[in-house]
Amino acid sequence: MQMFNRILIIAATLLSGAAGYLWMGYERAAPVAANALGCSPDFEDGPHPGMVRVPAGGFTMGAEFAYPEEGPAHPQQVAEFWIDRFEVTNAQFAAFVKATGYVTLAERGISNPADPAARPIPGSAVFKPLIAEGAFDPFASWWHFVEGADWRHPQGPDSSIEGLEQHPVVHIAYEDAEAYANWLGHELPTEAQFEYAAQTSGRKNAAGEFASNTWQGFFPLQNDPLDGHLGTAPVGCFTANALGLYDLIGNVWEWTSSTYYMSHNFPTLQDWPQGYDPAQPGEPVGVIKGGSYLCAPNYCMRYRPEARQAQSKGLGTSHIGFRTVLNSPQ
């Protein structure tokens, strides 16, 4: 029980990106078929297939007007790099597993640091709002550690990724994302690289059309799938940004290689080599970016390039994925 409490505390830090489907008497609406939305998971040929070149440049990183961890805004230079056009999909991750035999952290099991001798329990954090005794508790019953949940079984052991091959892979812990990137000879993007690449990405485009997969409706009671999706969307279903990149905002949160501290000028002292988040004391924490399909205007505004979130490196969830970068292309 102590381990599960720890896991739920870690997962609860993601409530800023959390949401549900349709609850409190609302009925689910059928999502629009992916091909009707013009999804474009094409991995075209080129020097680095499936990747886009991001030229060197400067930008203002961070923001002063939203969440305190986004500040201070400051000038940032970024060297040229290449980045995946899309989030890594279930099909791509399956190819990696087939080639290497890799087993994710969720499949191996989560250990309890308070009881090192205890058997690690395979599973991961799944977002499942519940109604208990007729009352919806929006804080105590959102995230649940589900035994048997992993990238192959995103909602638990009875679920599968059949038909979701072009959806972003989820339940990926930091070490899982890093292992995939290393297999390709790539890396995870830094926070600065991700934010720079996402500068022209947003929840909606200039015409007011949905440009990313986020929550529509009043969070957390109602999710109207106006963008065609209740959960994750196949990669490439929305308009690309000015660089030709898809889903940097919304769909799933994405790992970066950067360590999380409470602000951009937090003193990264030797006392905190694994990062620091007061909500997750003692946990190695990394920065995730971009928000997810669970971000809503009335509760979470982290579907912006400047937004950032702390995430325990030792836990994946049902709305965290990743993409990779190539920093020294040959």
DSSP state letters, 67-95: -GGGPPPEEEEE--EEEESSPPBHHHHHH
User: Can you tell me the distance from the alpha carbon of 248 to that of 266, in angstroms, rounded to the nearest whole number?
Assistant: 25
Taking alpha carbons only, the member of 54, 10, 62 closest to residue 308 is 62
Expressed as residue numbers, the domain containing 216 is: 1-330
Class of residue 42 by CB neighbours under 10 A (exposed 0-12, middle 13-18, buried 19+): exposed
243: domain CATH number is 3.90.1580.10
Domain count, the chain: 1
pLDDT at residue number 1: 35
pLDDT at residue number 135: 56
The answer to whether the CB of 153 falls within 8 A of the CB of 135 is: no
Rounded to 5 degrees, φ, ψ at 65 are -105, -10
Taking alpha carbons only, the member of 265, 286, 257 closest to residue 68 is 265
Ranges in the chain, pLDDT < 70: 1-38, 40-45, 113-114, 129-141, 220-221, 269, 329-330
The whole model's pTM is what? 0.86
Cis peptide leading into residue 138 (ω within 30°): no
The amino acid occupying position 72 is P
| Structure tokens, 290 | 């971009």
From residue 105, how far is each of 29, 94, 157, 256, 324 by CA, in Å?
34, 15, 15, 18, 19
pLDDT at residue number 52: 94
pLDDT at residue number 216: 81
Task: Give Cβ neighbours of residue 271 (< 8 Å, ≥ 6 apart).
Answer: none
Cis peptide leading into residue 72 (ω within 30°): yes
Rounded to 5 degrees, φ, ψ at 191 are -60, -40
